[in-house]
Amino acid sequence: MRTVCLSLLLVTACWALPFRQSGFLDFMMEDEEGSGVPEGPKCPFRCQCHLRVIQCSDLGLKTVPADIPDDTTLLDLQNNKITEIKENDFKNLKGLHALILVNNKITVIHAKALTPLTKLQRLYLSKNMLKEMPANMPKSLQELRIHENEITKIKKASFQGMAHVIVMELGSNPFKSAGIEAGAFADLKRVSYIRIADTNITEIPKGLPSSLSELHLDANKITKVTADSLKGLKNLAKLGLSYNEIGSVENGTLSNVPHLRELHLDNNALTSVPPGLPDHKYIQVVYLHANKIAAVGTEDFCPPGFNTKKAMYSGISLFSNPVPYWEVQPVTFRCVFDRSAIQLGNYRKK
Ligand SMILES: *[C@@H]1O[C@H](CO)[C@@H](O)[C@H](O)[C@H]1NC(C)=O
Ligand SMILES: *[C@@H]1O[C@H](CO)[C@@H](O)[C@H](O)[C@H]1NC(C)=O
């Protein structure tokens, strides 16, 4: 359809101005700025603008366009080649709610660049080359996605005063362990979801907020779970610790997270079932496959006795452990009513 219109235009243009060889483009340009047509809202060159949403993705841009309308609410600049965010790049965008800068080549964000964005709720910076957390992120922020960068540190000041954050995705950054300062997350009073996977941290970050309901720390180098590290997380429902190097879960850990429903500890170095499962009221899923568990006791999952009410388990995995499945006594799972919830066998998968 577009081609047809364009050809038609060409024909008309060439016909109207038969002797101007390079006339076509000039004609278009003149018309853009033409005096006869009433001026619509501005849209940066090659971007698409609809209502207050500005789409400038996949354009090979090396800088943020200069002429973004002041009333923009969503600015999409993903999949470009932007290398730097300068002080005045977002100067007048006081109504901006969402800023998408995923998959660029950003190494630096000027310390004052984000200050004007007092209404910003979503900031997506994943897949860039940032070496530091952006400074002065808006306090209005609800969602920060900054995975796959080169950030080595989260300082106590990094998230200062960001009391509205609900979701934080920080994975695939080379934090190592000392990289996360104690209490770095303390100001996130409403945070519900934090993911710090693939970062090589060696311990669970200290001082996580009590609002947290999901904590994903998979594929790191955490060596143990201490009771203290989860203290006060009374809303925690999901804890992901798969693919770490965890050798032990301290007694008292599970009683610090009374509302936990899912515990993923598969692909670690555990030698026994974590303590505290029989007393836990809500736990449903316990992944323990691919560890070094050599023995499973009859009191490891269920409370003593047979008249127990506990029947919450919906998934227990123990395969790929040294314990032979025929040595695990059936009575071990006396409080699990749905037998299909238990994956015991060392059957080979792939
Ligand atoms: C984590 O460590 C491994 C080497 O043990 C390395 O290959 C990987 O790049 C590191 N990951 C990060 C995000 O630093
Ligand atoms: C774990 O703690 C409970 C009470 O908090 C105690 O009864 C139990 O003996 C402890 N178990 C081990 C293995 O230390």
Starting from the CA of residue 173, give the closest ligand.
Answer: 1
* Structural domains in the chain (count): 2
Task: Give Cα separations from 317 to 26, 36, 81, 286, 308 (angstroms).
Answer: 70, 72, 45, 7, 21
Is the same domain home to 141 and 241? no
Can you give the CATH number for the domain in which 152 is found?
A: 3.80.10.10
pLDDT at residue 177 tops 90: no
Q: Does residue 211 fall inside a structural domain?
A: no
| Residues 87 and 140 occupy one common structural domain | yes
Does residue 195 share a domain with residue 59?
A: yes
Q: In this predicted structure, what is the pLDDT of residue 158?
A: 94
The count of C-alpha atoms lying within 13 angstroms of the C-alpha of 347, restricted to the half-sphere facing its C-beta, is: 5
8 A C-beta contact, residue 297 and residue 274: no
- Where residue 28 falls among pLDDT bands split at 50, 70, 90? very low
Decide: 149 and 126 in contact? Cβ < 8 Å. Answer: yes
pLDDT of residue 310: 65
Nearest CA owner, ligand 2 atom 11: 251
Between the CA of 200 and the centroid of ligand 1 the distance, in Å, is 6
**Same domain? 196 vs 91:** yes
Provide the residue range defining the domain that includes 230. 222-349
User: Do 321 and 227 belong together in one domain?
Assistant: yes
Which amino acid type is present at position 174? P
Q: What is the pLDDT of residues 55-113, one digit of tens each?
A: 999 999 999 999 999 999 999 999 999 999 999 999 999 999 999 999 999 999 999 99
Residue nearest to atom 5 of ligand 2 (CA): 252
For atom 9 of ligand 2, which residue has the closest CA? 251
Q: What is the pLDDT of residue 346?
A: 59
Q: Dump pLDDT digits (tens) for 295-325.
A: 999 999 999 887 666 668 999 999 999 999 8
The rounded distance, in Å, linking the Cα atoms of 272 and 291 is 9
192 and 249 within one domain: no
pLDDT at 22 over 50: no
303 lines ligand 2 (CB under 6 A): no
Q: What is the pLDDT of residues 216-259, one digit of tens each?
A: 999 999 999 999 999 999 999 999 999 999 999 999 999 999 99
Find the DSSP H helices in the chain.
2-16, 23-32
Residues 140 and 228 in one domain: no
Q: Residue written as tokens 């925690």?
A: 236
Q: CA dist 142 to 121, 123, 162, 251, Å?
A: 5, 8, 8, 35
Q: Are residues 252 and 338 located together in one domain of the fold?
A: yes
Whether residues 170 and 250 fall in one domain: no
The residue type of 142 is Q
Q: Enter the pTM of the model.
A: 0.85
